[in-house]
């Protein structure tokens, strides 16, 4: 595939710097950059647990420590408190 891209001065300078530091051709710099970006995206998609942890979703709620065992009685008591108008 052939790529034709227009770079402003800032990105042209960055590309020139990378070429100078690595002694790579433009094609190889672009391939390396694409590979790095691809790996980064793949890593983000593979680990949903870390995504939920980073966003603060995991561990954001509080409840009874024995909820998994006593969920029926906890729910019943909560509903009774909320809707028992006697």
The number of C-alpha atoms within 13 Å of 13 and in the hemisphere containing its C-beta is 3
Long-range CB pairs of 65-74 (<8 Å, 24+ gap) are none
- What is the rounded average pLDDT for all residues in the chain? 89
The answer to whether residues 19 and 25 touch, using CB atoms and an 8 Å cutoff, is yes
pLDDT band at 86 (very low <50, low <70, confident <90, very high): low
Reported as a single tens digit per residue, the pLDDT across 4-30 is 999 999 999 999 999 999 999 999 999
The answer to whether residues 51 and 44 touch, using CB atoms and an 8 Å cutoff, is yes
**The whole model's pTM is what?**
0.51
């Amino acid at each position: 595939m052939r790529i034709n891209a227009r770079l402003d001065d800032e990105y042209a300078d960055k590309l020139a710097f990378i070429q100078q530091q690595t002694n790579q051709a433009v094609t190889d710099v672009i391939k390396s950059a694409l590979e790095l970006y691809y790996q980064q995206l793949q890593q983000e998609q593979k680990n949903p647990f870390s995504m939920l942890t980073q966003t603060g979703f995991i561990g954001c709620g509080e409840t009874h420590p024995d909820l998994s065992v006593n969920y029926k009685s906890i729910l019943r008591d909560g509903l009774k408190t909320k809707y028992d108008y006697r």
